[in-house]
Structure 1
Amino acid sequence: MSDGLTPVKPPENELLIVTGMSGAGRTTAAHALEDLGWYVVEGMPTELIPTMMDLIARNPGSVEKLAVVVDVRSRGLYTDILGALEQIRTAGISYRVLFLDASDELLVRRFEQGRRPHPLQGSGRILDGITAERETLKDIRNGAEIVLDTTDLNVHGLAAAVTDLFSEDGPITLRLNVMSFGFKYGVPADANFVADVRFVPNPHWVPELRPLTGQDSAVRDYVLVDAGAEEFVARYVEALRPVLEGYRRENKHYATIAVGCTGGKHRSVAISEELARRLQQTSNVTVNTVHRDLGRE
C-alpha cells in the first residue's frame, strides 16, 4: 500500500477500482482519469466486474484502461467486492485499488455544506454514517495499493494528484489549439484567447501574394518581416507563459488561441504557425494548429 504519489506505469488492460469514503472526491478522481484516457464506469454492480473484464479481454484494443468507481451504494459492495476481486485475481487479471480518504471533520463539513445526508446515516447523525462506512470499507482500505488522503486538497489539487499518480507521461501536458480565422466569418466560439493581427500589412494588396496563403514561404516572409509582427509574436508568447503554467496548476488540459485577420487566409495563418512553433518549445505543452477559414473565397 502506498500513501505517496509515486506513479506506476499500468499494464495492458488494467483494471482500477476507485473507491473510498463518501465525500472524499471519487467523482473528481473519475473525471481526472477520464482526461487521462481511462474508460470510467460508475455504479456498476461489483459482481459484474469479472464479466466486464472478460468482455474486454475478448476484444483486444477495445479498452486498455478501465476504472470502476465503487461506493457504499453500489450493489454488492458489502459482501461481494472482495470476492469479486478474488475472482479477478484468480483469472490472472491485473488490477489496483485507489482508495480516497479524508478526515471525519472534513467529511462532516462537506455533507453539511452540500445539505445532503450520508448514505449510511439513516436516522442518525452524519458522523454515525461516516463511522459505519469506515467499518464497512476497512478491509478494502487495508488492501488498497494506493490510499490518497484528500483532506488538504481542493478539487484542482485532487485532480492534479490523480494525474501525477496515473499519467504515463509525467507532469500534466496542456494541449493548445492555435487557430487562425477571418473576422468576416465570425470569432470562434470556443476561443480562450483572441488575437487581432489586422495591424500587420496585408499581403492581399500585393498582386503576386494575393493567390497564396500564409502557409507559403513568400507570404510568411512578408508578414513576419514586419517589425510589429515580430514584436507581437515574441511578447504574446511571453505573456502566455504564466497563463499556461497556471492552467497546468489548475489541472486545465485544453486551451484555444484564436488569431484573426480579415479573411483568415494570409496574416492570421502565418502568425498562427509562428506562434505554434514557439509555443511548442514550452515544456509540457503540445500544440495543434488549425486554419478554420483557409480555402474560403
Structure 2
Amino acid sequence: MVASQTDDPQRILLVTGMLGAGKSTVLRELEDLGWEAIDNFPIRLLDRLIGPEDDSYPLAIGCDCRTRGFVPSDIIEQAKALTNDGRIELTTVFLDCAGHELERRFNETRRRHFLAADLPVSSGIAAERELLAPLRRWAEVLIDTTNFSVNDLKLAVRERFAPSASQQLTVTVSSFGFSRGMPPSADLVFDMRFIDNPHWVEQLRPMTGLDAPVGEHIERDPTFPGAFAKIADLVTELLPRYAAQGKTYVNIAFGCTGGRHRSVYSAQKLAGVLHAAGFSPTVIHRNLGARATELVEDAQHP
C-alpha cells in the first residue's frame, strides 16, 4: 500500500557494518530510546513490516553478513524502491572499525569470524570489508568505533537519534531514615545526621521537613549552610557528567535517623536548586508519615 501524501512515512533505520563494530550495542540503545529493534532480519521481507496498522514507532533493523540472503547490492536496490514510493523514510547507519581493533575484539571474546571458519580472523575481516564496501559507500551515517568505549558509542547514538526530550536525565531526589535501611537504588547518599535534630524540640517533633519552622531550625545550625552548598555544587557538577557517560537515571538520597525532618528538608531544598539549574527532579519522601520512626528516634541519641 502506497502512503498517501497526508501520511507521514514510517521511519526506518537500517543498522549494518562490520562484525564486532558494535551493532548490538547500537540496537539496544535505540530500543531504550523508544525504537522498535529487530536484529538479523532478512531485508527481503521488509515489505511485510511496512503497513498502516502500526507505524507510530520508529523501527531499527540490524543486518550484517550473517543475515540470511545478505547481498548488499540487492539491499540497496530494495531500499531505493521503498523510499521512492513514499512508504518509508529510511536511513542507513554503517558501523566501521579498524582491522587491528576488530582482531583484538574477536581474540578477547574467542569467537570465530563468520567468514573465516578455518582461516585467521584477519582473513575474515578482509573478506567482510570487501563484501560490505557498497553499503559503506551508500550509508548516510558512518560511525567509526575504533577508539570508542561502549559509553562513547551509546552517546553517539543518542546524539543522532534520540528525541530531544529523551536526552535529559531522569533525576530523583529522595529522603529516607537510616533506621529503616538505606535505599538500594541510590547513586549518591548524603548523611544529614550531623545537623541538630528537630525531633528533640518539642514544638517541632510532630512536624516534618516540609514545615517552615523545621526548615528555619535546620538553617540555624551553623554547619548546615556551608555543607549543603558543597553538596549542591557537587551534584550540579556531577549530573551533566553522568549524562555524558550514558547514565539515564540518577537517584540522590538524603538520610537522617527517622526520615522525617533533616533529610526531608534537605531533599526539598536540593530539588529547588536542581529546578533552577534546568533539571526536573522527582521528589520522594520514603519514610515521611511512618509512625514507627518517632519511636526509633526516641530510642537513639539526638
Asked if these proteins are the same fold (TM beyond 0.5), I'd say: yes
The one-letter code sitting in structure 2 at the alignment partner of 1:190 is S
The one-letter code sitting in structure 2 at the alignment partner of 1:151 is T
The one-letter code sitting in structure 2 at the alignment partner of 1:81 is I
The one-letter code sitting in structure 2 at the alignment partner of 1:248 is A
TM-score (normalizing by structure 2): 0.82
User: Of residues 73, 92, 101 in structure 1, which corresponds to 2:66?
Assistant: 73
Give, in whole Å, the separation in 1 of the partners of 2:144 and 2:154.
13
Counterpart residue number, 1:6: none
Counterpart residue number, 2:215: 220
Equivalenced residue count is 282
Deviation track 1:67-101 (CA, whole Å, cap 9, x = no partner) reads: 22222222232376335524532352112111101
Counterpart residue number, 2:31: 34
User: Of residues 178, 181, 186 in structure 2, which corresponds to 1:186?
Assistant: 181
Inter-CA distance 176–22: structure 2 relative to 1 (3 Å threshold): same
Counterpart residue number, 1:264: 259
Give, in whole Å, the separation in 2 of the partners of 1:273 and 1:21.
49
Give, in whole Å, the separation in 2 of the partners of 1:210 and 1:125.
74
* Contact kept? 2:33, 2:166, Cα under 8 Å: no
* Contact kept? 2:17, 2:132, Cα under 8 Å: yes
Deviation track 1:24-43 (CA, whole Å, cap 9, x = no partner) reads: 11122223323433232223
Displacement, 1:232?
Answer: 1.9
Displacement, 1:250?
Answer: 2.2
Q: Match of 1:258, SS?
A: strand
* Contact kept? 1:174, 1:248, Cα under 8 Å: yes
Displacement, 1:12?
Answer: 7.5
Which structure's relative contact order is higher, taking Cα pairs within 8 Å and 6+ residues apart? 1
Give, in whole Å, the separation in 1 of the partners of 2:183 and 2:32.
23
Inter-CA distance 179–136: structure 2 relative to 1 (3 Å threshold): same
* Contact kept? 1:164, 1:170, Cα under 8 Å: no
Give, in whole Å, the separation in 1 of the partners of 2:130 and 2:71.
10
Displacement, 1:170?
Answer: 9.0
TM-score (normalizing by structure 1): 0.84
Inter-CA distance 73–278: structure 2 relative to 1 (3 Å threshold): same
Counterpart residue number, 2:144: 149
The one-letter code sitting in structure 1 at the alignment partner of 2:274 is L
Deviation track 1:131-162 (CA, whole Å, cap 9, x = no partner) reads: 22223222222221101111222222222222
List aligned pairs for 1:19-168, cutoff 5 A: 19-54=16-51, 57-59=52-54, 61=56, 63=57, 65-78=58-71, 81-82=75-76, 84-86=78-80, 88-89=82-83, 90=85, 92-168=87-163
Q: Match of 2:255, SS?
A: strand
Matched, 1:296 2:293: no
Q: Match of 1:94, SS?
A: strand
* Contact kept? 2:13, 2:92, Cα under 8 Å: yes
Displacement, 1:21?
Answer: 0.6
Counterpart residue number, 1:7: none
Counterpart residue number, 1:5: none
Q: Match of 1:77, SS?
A: coil
Give, in whole Å, the separation in 1 of the partners of 2:255 and 2:199.
15
Pairwise CA RMSD of aligned residues?
A: 2.6
Displacement, 1:171?
Answer: 10
**Unmatched 5+ residue regions in structure 2?**
1-7, 292-302
**Unmatched 5+ residue regions in structure 1?**
1-10
